[in-house]
Homo-oligomer: A and B are copies of this chain.
Amino acid sequence: MSVEELSQEERDTWMRALKQWSLAREGKAIERTFEFADFREAWGFMSQVALMAEKRDHHPEWFNVYNKVEITLTTHDAGGLSLRDVNMAKAIDKLV
Contact = CB atoms under 8 A, between A and B. Distances in A.
Contacts of A53: 39
A36 to B, nearest CB: 12
Contact of A61 (B47, B50, B59, B65): B65
B59 A50 contact: no
Interface residues of A, number: 15
A65 B53 CA distance: 11
Contact of A63 (B47, B63, B66): B63
B43 A50 contact: yes
8 contacts: A39-B59, A43-B50, A43-B54, A59-B66, A60-B65, A61-B63, A61-B65, A62-B63
